[in-house]
Amino acid sequence: MASATPRHRPAPHHLSKAAAAGDGVGDHEGWAEGIASLTAEQGGAALLMEESAGAGVKASDGAPAVTTPTLASEGVAAAGAAAALRGGGGAPATPEEERRALMEHALVALEAEVATRGEVVADLGAAGGYGPTGLGEAQLAELLAAVEARMAALGADVTVLRQRKLSPPAAGAPAPHAADVCIRRRGSASGGTPLEVRVAIIGNVDSGKSTMVGVLTRSVLDDGRGSARARVFKHSHEADTGRTSSVGQHTLCLDSRGAILNDAAFRTQSIADYVARAAKVVTLVDLAGHEKYFRTTSYGLTAHLPDYACLIVGANAGVVGMAKEHLGVALALRIPAFFVITKIDLAPEHVLRHTLQGLTSILKKPGVRKRAYLVRTTDDVLTCARHMHADALAPIFLTSSVTGQGLDLVRLFYNLLPQRHNWHERCGEAAEFIIDETFGVPGVGTVVAGTVKRGALSPNCTLLLGPDIGDASFKAVQVKSIHYKRLPVGLVVAGQTAALALKKVKRHQVRKGMVLVDAATAPKASWEFDADIAILTHSSTIAPRYQAVIHCEIVRQAARVIAMDRERLRSGDRACVRFRFLNHPEFLTPGTRFVFREGRTKGIGVVVGTAMSPTAPPASP
């Protein structure tokens, strides 16, 4: 019998002439090419590199949650505490007294960090870290014991990641000792709420994204024929074609000591049992890689507020097709990205080398400016996890989902990834919940899923739902119950995803793009908004009346340019423009970064004025 015709045309090998000639939409004037072509003289480059609010959090809120570069000031303060022992009319402090004072100050600082952030990766005994320096082996053991005792009283566990010897201060002097530890507050089992980090899984079609998600969340290896990805697909047609077509959220649960709770028996239906024991939850947002689902992937990168982007690259295919498009959107939204090269068991050595060279060359381009860092050891993982917040480091992992090579380093990296935003500072603000999914559950009613951007939500609280697609109004609704990863909870806080059951709300009354906000904020919907934009690629010029599709968090709608501060815009230009939505008003907040597209035109922008801002755009007749 004749063989069946392939359902999808296979992607060309990245060393072939077809790939070199630019096969596919992502290889011609794409997002990555537009960003990489920006020069320092163009206004678009300045907007791309500027810090913005990003997910509604101010740039000043982006301090790292589990890193210690900011501890130089802590060391100065600790030195001052020790110096106080020598001040006044008292006798000079002995070296032992000074060490004790520095150790006590470190314990107080660690208590404050863990109490507010929930976890911290601390460098004990090293310059710029916590505690006194120049420690011997016995003194370091004493410091570790003191930290464990103090953190246990706070409801947190301490895991020693590594112990090492530092360079001796002088020739012939003993080498001081230092240790890296992970301190993490216990989660739901002790009455707390687990930390949540969201990672968007992006990459070209057939690169192994869903397979990697299945291997990590099910703790199994792939058989080379799709057994792992079959465990995470949502729809039957995805299982038939082997390709993701929707946004899938999958959970990696970790306890307070960094152990992965997911096992081979993990199922979506039983996820609540694992979350109940977790201290940290890593949500892997599996996105589609095929070209025709690019709109869905863009929505996943904006609406789900990922902390990081993980670009999956097939070692035998290279950085081709939609991998460049996805990377470009992540760069435009200033989402820190790291890279996982899969299928290294299939790629010959020279092909793998060529893939690494191609990825490195993209990262070195002027508009990207990231430093490629090949991760080979545990020390490399620690270095990358500490500096992921800087958005200048690009860790690269070499893995195989069939043999399991390199997966232990990927798991450790996920364990140490910090929350990119200081969500704890947003917990005391007025509540805001963005809706990215709606459901009708028999016996329950209307259920909305999304992310808490600020504040805290509890059952029976009353919020305003809107903007209504008809009259742009906000209507009061009551939250009946709250589920976090299928686990019934009494509280969800800023930075967590949740599902809310609403009282007396019909399914047709809610849609993606609506929000639930506190009545104290007096929310308003905006037909128009002002934005600071930059054009990445455009074939001609942009003038008023130009239309494009806006991707701004949960908002995905066409808008028209009705005014701009320049007569014409070309590729690389930057300007202030006023957009007007074509279909219905949306709820926007100033400072939010967005992307817009139309055909091969790509652009980025930051919202600077809405109906909610003090300098709101005037209402149009």
Backbone angles phi, psi at 493, to 5 degrees: -120, 175
CA distance 323 to 276: 36
Residue 521 is given by DSSP the state: G
Backbone angles phi, psi at 464, to 5 degrees: -100, 130
The CATH superfamily label for domain 528-609 reads Translation factors (2.40.30.10)
Beta bridge partners of 477: 463
Backbone angles phi, psi at 477, to 5 degrees: -135, 160
Cα angle value 432/621/598 (rounded, 5°): 65
Single-letter amino acid code for the residue at 147: V
Cα dist from 44 to 47, 429, 548, 606, whole Å:
5, 33, 18, 12
**What is the number of H-type helices and E-type strands within the chain?**
14, 25
Q: Do 330 and 420 form a contact (C-beta atoms < 8 A)? A: no
First to last CA, the chain: 68
CA distance 339 to 310: 6
What are the per-10-residue average pLDDT scores of the chain (621 residues)? 44 45 46 77 74 40 36 43 48 82 94 92 92 92 96 94 90 91 81 87 94 95 92 88 91 95 90 93 95 91 95 94 91 94 95 95 87 95 89 93 96 95 90 94 94 95 93 94 94 94 94 94 94 91 94 95 92 93 94 91 93 61 38
Q: Which residue, 468, 507, 475, is CA-closest to 585?
A: 468
Decide if 195-421 and 426-521 have a common fold.
no
Task: Please tell me the predicted confidence (pLDDT) of residue 261.
Answer: 95
Beta carbons within 8 Å of 614's beta carbon, 6+ residues apart: none
Average pLDDT, the chain: 86
Beta bridge partners of 285: 200, 249
Q: Do 498 and 483 form a contact (C-beta atoms < 8 A)? A: yes
Beta bridge partners of 515: 434, 466
Task: Please tell me the predicted confidence (pLDDT) of residue 561.
Answer: 96
Exposed, middle or buried, 304 (CB in 10 Å: 0-12/13-18/19+)?
Answer: buried
Q: What is the DSSP string of 530-591?
A: EEEEEEEE-SS-B-TT-EEEEEETTEEEEEEEEEESSS-B-TT-EEEEEEEESSS-B---TT
Structure-token pair, residue 36? 């990489």
Percentages (nearest 5) of helix, strand, coil residues in the chain: 30, 30, 40
Q: Rounded to 10 degrees, what is the CA torsion of 550, 556, 557, 559?
A: -20
> In which residue are the tokens 């455009």 written?
538
Q: Is 125 left (phi over 0), alpha (psi -120 to 50) or beta?
A: left
CA distance 81 to 230: 58
Cα dist from 209 to 27, 59, 230, 284, 299, whole Å:
20, 31, 12, 10, 17
Residue 53 is given by DSSP the state: -
pLDDT tens readout for residues 307-331? 999 999 999 999 998 999 999 999 9
Q: Do 3 and 306 form a contact (C-beta atoms < 8 A)? A: no
What 3-state class would DSSP assign to 300?
helix
Cα dist from 291 to 24, 206, 323, whole Å:
8, 12, 10
Q: How many CB atoms lie within 10 A of CB 111?
A: 17
Q: Do 280 and 169 form a contact (C-beta atoms < 8 A)? A: no
Q: Which residue, 336, 333, 313, is CA-closest to 324?
A: 313
> In which residue are the tokens 């032992």 written?
96
- 426-521 CATH pick, 2.170.130.10, 3.40.630.10, 2.40.30.10, 3.40.50.2300: 2.40.30.10
**Could you state, in order of their start, the residue ranges of all structural domains in the chain?**
61-183, 195-421, 426-521, 528-609
Q: Which residue, 182, 145, 146, 147, is CA-closest to 162?
A: 182
CA distance 422 to 57: 8
H or E stretch including 272? Answer: helix 271-275
Q: Do 455 and 469 form a contact (C-beta atoms < 8 A)? A: no
Cα angle value 441/445/450 (rounded, 5°): 75
- Quote the longest CA-to-CA distance of the chain: 99
Task: Please tell me the predicted confidence (pLDDT) of residue 240.
Answer: 85
- 195-421 CATH fold: Rossmann fold (3.40.50)
Q: What is the DSSP string of 354-399?
A: HHHHHHHHHHTSTTT--EEEE--SHHHHHHHHHHGGGS-EEEEEE-
- Cis preceding linkage at 467, omega within 30: yes
Q: How many CB atoms lie within 10 A of CB 223?
A: 10
Structure-token pair, residue 245? 């077509």
For the entire predicted model, the pTM comes to: 0.86
